[in-house]
C-alpha cells in the first residue's frame, strides 16, 4: 500500500488543479465551500493547492505531456499491470483504492500509465538478451561472498591490479586504496553472503562470473571502479520462492531492464523540451534534474 499513497495526492490534486487553472478569472470567486463562519472560493482553493501540492502536481503533468509525445504505453499493458496488482491485493483491491482516495480504476490506471512512460524513457536503448535472463535466473539460486577495492578511476584500479599480480595482499591494498572505508578497514570484505538484487548489476554480474579466489578486472559502476575478489560461493539452502523459468521470464526481463535504467535519459529529454514554468511561485521549486546530480 505504501507505494500507492505517494501518487494519491498527486492525481487528486492534479485533477482539481487543472480544473481550477482552466477557469476564467471571473469564476474564481465562485464559492467551493461554505460554513457558518465563512466561505472558501475557487481562487483561495487554487492558491492553497499551488502552495501545498503545486510543484509535485505540475511536475508530474509536464513529465506526462513531454514523455507521451516520444513514448507510448498501450492500454493492454496498463491493464496487465493493473490485473497483477488486483491479483496481489485480491478481494482487498477495491478497498485499497478507496482508502487511497481513487474514485475508480480509471484514475489509478492513469497513474500506472505515467509511471510506465517514465520507465520507458529511462530504459531507452537498453536491451536484454534471452541468455542474460537465463543466467540471471540461475544466479538467483546461488549466493557469494566477496571483497572489493573501490577507487575513483581506471588508472588507479589498474595500479591495484598490477600490485596484486606482483604478490601484494588484497586486504593490505584495500586498506591503502579503497574509498569504501567501511569495507577497507576490514580488508575489503563486504560482509556475509549476498545474491541477486543486493549489489549494483555490473558488480553482481562480475562476481557471479568469477571462481572462488579469482580477482576481476576493473568493474565500472556508478560508485567508481571496483576490483572484486570472490571468497566463497554456494547454492542457496531455500529456493522455494523461485518459480519456474518460463513463468518468471517476462518478470526477470523487466527487472533487468529496470536495473539498467538511466534517469539521465529523462533529464536529457526534458532539457530539450523547452519547459517553461509560468506560475511564478513555482519557478524556483521545479527542477527536472535528478536529485542525485545535485549532490555530486
Question: What is the DSSP code (8-state) at residue 51?
Answer: H
* Range of the structural domain that residue 48 is part of: 5-125+261-294
Kindly report the CATH number assigned to the domain that includes residue 157.
Answer: 3.10.50.40
List the Cα angle 241/123/96 in 5-degree steps: 55
Is 251 inside any structural domain? no
Residue 291's pLDDT is 60
Looking at the fold, whether 137 and 93 belong to one and the same domain comes out as no
One domain for residues 50 and 90: yes
Nearest Cα to 114, choosing from 13, 17, 7?
7
Residues 265, 120: one domain?
yes
Query: Residue 230: exposed, middle, or buried by beta-carbon count in 10 A (0-12, 13-18, 19+)?
Result: buried
Dihedrals φ, ψ of 155, to 5°?
-60, -45
Q: Is residue 143 part of a domain?
A: yes
Same domain for 269 and 168: no
User: Are residue 24 and residue 113 in the same domain, yes or no?
Assistant: yes
Q: Rounded CA gap, 151 and 220, in Å?
A: 10
What pLDDT is recorded for position 258?
A: 93
Q: What is the pLDDT of residues 157-213, one digit of tens each?
A: 999 999 999 999 999 999 999 999 999 999 999 999 999 999 999 999 999 999 999
Same domain, 14 and 119: yes
Domain count, the chain: 2
Q: What is the pLDDT of residue 294?
A: 37
In this structure, the answer to whether residues 164 and 108 fall within a common structural domain is no
pLDDT along the chain (296 residues), means of 10: 43 46 56 85 82 79 90 93 91 89 85 90 94 97 98 98 97 97 96 95 98 98 97 96 95 95 91 85 77 43
Chain mean position to CA 230: 28
Amino acid at each position: 500500500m505504501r507505494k500507492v499513497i505517494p501518487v494519491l495526492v498527486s492525481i487528486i490534486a492534479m485533477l482539481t488543479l487543472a480544473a481550477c487553472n482552466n477557469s476564467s478569472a471571473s469564476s474564481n470567486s465562485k464559492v467551493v465551500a461554505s460554513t457558518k463562519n465563512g466561505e472558501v472560493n475557487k481562487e483561495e482553493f487554487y492558491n492553497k493547492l499551488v502552495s501545498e501540492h503545486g510543484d509535485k502536481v505540475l511536475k508530474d503533468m509536464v513529465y506526462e505531456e513531454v514523455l507521451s509525445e516520444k513514448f507510448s504505453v498501450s492500454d493492454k499493458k496498463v491493464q496487465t499491470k493493473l490485473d497483477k496488482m488486483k491479483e496481489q491485493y485480491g478481494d482487498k483491491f477495491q478497498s485499497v483504492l478507496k482508502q487511497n482516495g481513487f474514485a475508480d480504476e480509471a484514475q489509478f490506471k492513469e497513474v500506472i500509465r505515467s509511471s510506465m512512460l517514465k520507465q520507458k524513457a529511462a530504459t531507452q536503448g537498453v536491451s536484454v538478451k534471452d541468455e542474460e535472463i537465463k543466467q540471471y535466473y540461475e544466479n538467483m539460486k546461488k549466493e557469494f561472498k566477496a571483497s572489493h577495492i573501490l577507487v575513483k578511476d581506471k588508472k588507479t584500479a589498474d595500479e591495484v591490479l598490477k600490485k596484486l599480480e606482483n604478490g601484494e595482499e588484497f586486504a593490505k591494498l584495500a586498506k591503502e586504496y579503497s574509498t569504501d572505508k567501511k569495507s577497507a578497514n576490514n580488508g575489503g570484505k563486504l560482509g556475509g553472503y549476498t545474491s541477486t538484487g543486493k549489489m549494483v548489476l555490473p558488480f553482481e554480474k562480475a562476481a557471479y562470473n568469477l571462481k572462488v579466489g579469482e580477482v576481476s578486472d576493473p568493474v565500472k559502476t556508478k560508485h567508481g571502479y571496483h576490483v572484486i575478489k570472490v571468497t566463497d560461493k554456494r547454492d542457496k539452502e531455500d529456493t522455494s520462492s523461485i518459480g519456474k523459468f518460463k513463468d518468471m521470464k517476462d518478470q526477470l526481463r523487466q527487472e533487468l531492464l529496470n536495473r539498467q535504467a538511466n534517469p539521465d535519459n529523462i533529464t536529457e529529454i526534458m532539457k530539450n523540451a523547452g519547459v517553461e514554468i509560468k506560475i511564478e511561485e513555482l519557478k524556483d521549486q521545479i527542477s527536472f534534474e535528478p536529485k542525485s546530480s545535485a549532490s555530486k
